[in-house]
Amino acid sequence: MLQPERHSKILALLSQVGRVYAAELSVQLGVSEDTVRRDLKLLDEQKQLRRVHGGALPLQHENQEYRERHEEVDPLKQRVALAAIPLIKEGQTILIDSGSTCLQLAMNLPTDFNFTVVTPSPLVATQLIHHNNIELIMLGGKVFKPAVMALGATTNAMIRKIHFDSCFLGVCALHPSQGLSIGHIDEAETLASIIEQSEQVITLASYLKLGKMSTHKICSARKIDYLVTDSNSDPKLLSLFAEQGIDIKICADR
Amino acid sequence: MLQPERHSKILALLSQVGRVYAAELSVQLGVSEDTVRRDLKLLDEQKQLRRVHGGALPLQHENQEYRERHEEVDPLKQRVALAAIPLIKEGQTILIDSGSTCLQLAMNLPTDFNFTVVTPSPLVATQLIHHNNIELIMLGGKVFKPAVMALGATTNAMIRKIHFDSCFLGVCALHPSQGLSIGHIDEAETLASIIEQSEQVITLASYLKLGKMSTHKICSARKIDYLVTDSNSDPKLLSLFAEQGIDIKICADR
DNA sequence: GATATTCCTGCATTATTAAGTAAAATCACA
DNA sequence: TGTGATTTTACTTAATAATGCAGGAATATC
């Protein structure tokens, strides 16, 4: 294995697990501890990580980073989420996906009528614990950490037993011809199951997500009923979506 | 765990609960008390905290606010939870129940080895999202708001497909002859399913819960393997439990 | 004031690192 | 293709750092 390969592998591991040990790296990379130390020393000098006795740590501690990221509310996402709320009707059973936009949706759900929320996200569930008008159903299964949601066979099986009036998806890539797509295959499958069980598919996406595509396809654009986005979106792109039967909702500007 | 990791964890705990004890840190961090003392001494020299006999305190006056905000952390429950941590072994699959004591357990799980956590509580799940060494499985189902946990037929079905090395239950009533009991029938059934699937049953209960009984029986005391409690518990009561084969663990005082 | 914790000091043990050197691989250039 | 320079890696040894343990000192608790 070449030096730059090792370096990127070390950095990948670091961001994945938050710490690396020199001794372990030596085994994992198949080189001597000396080489690992030289690598770590180099990466430290390049400010790519923080060298400490016994191994190395990321520059900013992951937890803090996440907390900050989590506490700061993106106003754009919040506006998109707010614009989607009128689509919820009394007595419905809706699914709310994981992701920051959907979390915003969860934080702003109506309190003046009753409905049921199903979610694969522990964060969304936690947010809804104290809404007395909401019947909350958690989807079970292995929690996929990067997306903070339950997914996989168990989750899919549970989804297939539920019929949703609508599902609210915080998409990460929506393309006119390629449809909805996402970076992880299991995530794609679980989202596809959800869509299969939903009367209406409602996607929440800021202009940054439109016209993009990712690795694993979830469904074609035709399956989508609503797209809630913002006024920065390209009108041509939006008309392409409209041609495929998607009802477009633009959120307020401020 | 690397030294700087310990340091940031100590500081994080400090800002969360407003005080740390050397002896507790030793358990939480998996190192000797000497090492903890050296850590505290270092952090004190770096003006990151104030060292005091028995532990350490935050420096800033804003800690007053912090303490107010996080006053909900019951130190008694935290100590009981800490005493249960050594019962977790590498590679195990454990279930962590809902409830404040179990939430404390979740907040203090070891980070230096891998294991799997299954939980019906969105709060526990949210807490564990950032533990990279923990494989997290959420139990799905209707969320029972008063207990903040998934329960019912769907949940029970999912439980029956999993075998737990041990389950950690934050009991609300444990009586020598009546066993474990609880106020809601569905909760009782779900907990019974969990116990059925567990190799070891570990109960966490402050002295306030012992000798009490509630409406719906979960299981007899004989099914319980460990009772982790505090030194305020009535010794006679404890010996009655011990007679039924329960291993009693008393948490540290203070 | 007695007792029990908690703390500090020195020391032994272990793990980790640094420095120096040699072998191997890679590269530059004829 | 061959030769020497350069880089990269591995090995050895000495130094350093981190940790845990055992005692006596300090501190808190009753």
Is the pLDDT at A152 greater than 50? The verdict is yes
Quick one: average pLDDT of B111-116?
85
| Nearest-CA residue relative to C1' of D21 | B34
What average pLDDT score do residues B73-77 get? 78
B136 in contact with nucleic chain C (CB within 7 A): no
Contact assessment for residue B2 and residue B30, using Cβ atoms and an 8 Å cutoff: no
> With 60 as the cut, is the pLDDT of residue A6 above it?
yes
Cα gap B98→A165, rounded to integer Å:
30
Strands (E) in B139-232, as ranges, are 141-144, 149-151, 164-170, 174-175, 179-182, 198-204, 216-219, 226-229
Residue to substitute from A14, A69, A118, A143, interface B, most B β-carbons within 10 A: A143
Mean pLDDT for B70-90 is 80
Secondary structure (DSSP) of B72-124: T--HHHHHHHHHHGGG--TT-EEEE-SSHHHHHHHHT--SSS-EEEEES-HHH
> Would you state the pLDDT for residue B68?
43
Nearest beta carbon to residue B143 from set A16, A53, A136:
A136
pLDDT tens-digit readout, B119-154: 999 999 999 998 888 999 999 999 999 999 999 999
The SS3 assignment for B25 reads helix
> What is the fold, at CATH topology level, of the domain defined by A66-250?
Rossmann fold (3.40.50)
* Separation in Å, CA of B212 to nearest CA in chain A: 28
Reading the block at residue A7, the tokens are 């370096």
pLDDT at A66 over 60: no
| D26 closest protein residue (CA to C1') | B53
By Cβ distance, the residue of B4, B126, B140 closest to A141 is B140
Chain D: positions less than 7 Å from a protein CB are 8-12, 17-22, 27-28
Please tell me the predicted confidence (pLDDT) of residue A60. 64
How confident is the model over B55-64, as a mean pLDDT? 68
- The pLDDT, as a whole number, for residue A70 is 46
- CATH code: domain B3-57 is 1.10.10.10
Residue with the larger pLDDT of the pair B43 and B75: B43
Q: How confident is the model at residue A62 (pLDDT cuts 50, 70, 90)?
A: very low
| pLDDT one-digit tens code per residue, A29-46 | 889 999 999 999 989 988
**Which pLDDT score is estimated for B233?**
87
- Give the contacts of A208 (CB within 8 A, at least 6 positions apart): none
pTM of the model: 0.76
Q: What is the pLDDT of residues A123-135, one digit of tens each?
A: 999 999 989 899 9
pLDDT tens per residue across span A184-238:
999 999 999 999 999 999 999 999 999 999 999 999 999 999 999 999 999 999 9
The arithmetic mean of pLDDT across residues A53-80, rounded, is 70
- What CA–CA distance (Å, rounded) separates A198 from A204? 15
Most B CBs within 10 A among A103, A114, A138, hence the mutation to make, goes to A138
> Where are the CATH 1.10.10.10 domain residues in chain A?
3-57
Average pLDDT, chain B: 89
The 3-class secondary structure across chain A, one letter per residue, is CCHHHHHHHHHHHHHHHCCEEHHHHHHHHCCCHHHHHHHHHHHHHCCCCEEECCEEECCCCHHHHHHHHHHCCCHHHHHHHHHHHHHCCCCCEEEECCCHHHHHHHHCCCCCCCEEEEECCHHHHHHHCCCCCEEEEECCEEEEHHHCEEECHHHHHHHCCCCEEEEEEECCCEECCCEEEECCHHHHHHHHHHHHCEEEEEEECCHHHECCCCCEEEECHHHCCEEEECCCCCHHHHHHHHHCCCEEEECCCC
State whether residue B225 is helix, strand or coil: coil
Do residues B158 and A140 lie in contact, with contact meaning Cβ atoms separated by under 8 Å?
Answer: yes
Average predicted confidence (pLDDT) for chain A: 91
**pLDDT for B149-187, tens place per residue?**
999 999 999 999 999 999 999 988 999 999 999 999 999
Asked if the Cβ of residue B54 lies within 7 A of any atom of strand C, the reply is yes
CB-CB: which of B8, B126, B137 is closest to A142?
A: B137
Report whether pLDDT(A63) > 60: no
The yes-or-no verdict on residue A68 having pLDDT over 60 is no
Where are the CATH 3.40.50.10470 domain residues in chain B?
Answer: 66-250
- Among A63-67, A223-227, B43-47, B201-205, the minimum mean pLDDT is found in A63-67
